[in-house]
Amino acid sequence: MSEMNLRETVSGWLAEMAPSVGMDIPLDENGACAVEFPDDLVVVLNVAEDHYTLMASLLEAPAEANPRTLEKALRMNMDYSITRGGFLGFFELHHELVYLFHREVGADDDARSFTNRFMNFISAAYDLRAELRAAQDAELRGEAPDFPSSSLPLSSESEASDKEAPPIDPHMTRV
C-alpha cells in the first residue's frame, strides 16, 4: 500500500472512530496528528508508507535524577502483557518516558481493528503513566522501589578483572 493510500485509509478509520472518542481526528498533510485526552494525555499518530505509529508522553524523567523510575520502565517494557504489544522508550530531547506502538498494516487491518488498537493504546498509556508516576513519586520521597533489587554483591573493578570468565557451554542456546 502506498503512503498516500494508507493515509487515506487511516483517515477513513479515524472518521469511523470519531464517535468512540467524541471528536474528529484529522491527519495533517504529513500524515500525522496529535490528540489531547483528559488528564493531559497527548497521543501522536504518524502514518508512514506501510505502517502507523502511536506515541504518548508518559512523564518527564531526567535520566540522572530518576534511575529507579527508569529501571521500573525497563522492567515493565519486558512484559508485553503490561505494555500490550507496545514498548516504552526514553525521548532524550525532552527527557521524557514515552509509550510507543508500531503497526505494519496488512490485509487483516480494518476500521474496527484500528479502533481497538487505538483505544487499547490510550488505556495502556493511562495505566503505564500511573505506574510510572507512582514509581517516580516514591523515588522522590526516597522510598524503596516496588520491585526486588539485585541480590548479587557488587565487586570492585580490580576484583572483577582478576577473575577468570566461566567457560561457555557450546550446547547452550539463547532464548
pLDDT digits (tens, 9 = 90+) for 68-113: 888 888 889 898 889 999 999 988 888 889 999 999 999 899 999 9
DSSP assigned state of 151: -
Its pTM stands at: 0.77
Tally the domains of the chain. Answer: 1
Q: Is residue 159 part of a domain?
A: no
Residue 160: exposure state from Cβ atoms within 10 A (0-12, 13-18, ≥19)? exposed
CATH code, domain with 79: 3.30.1460.10
Q: What are phi and psi of 152, to 5 degrees?
A: -75, 135
Q: Is residue 154 part of a domain?
A: no
Q: Is residue 156 part of a domain?
A: no
Share of the chain above pLDDT 70, in %: 77
Q: Which domain holds residue 114?
A: 3-148
Residue 163 has pLDDT above 50, yes or no: no
Q: Is residue 161 part of a domain?
A: no
Mean of pLDDT over the chain? 81
Q: Is residue 165 part of a domain?
A: no
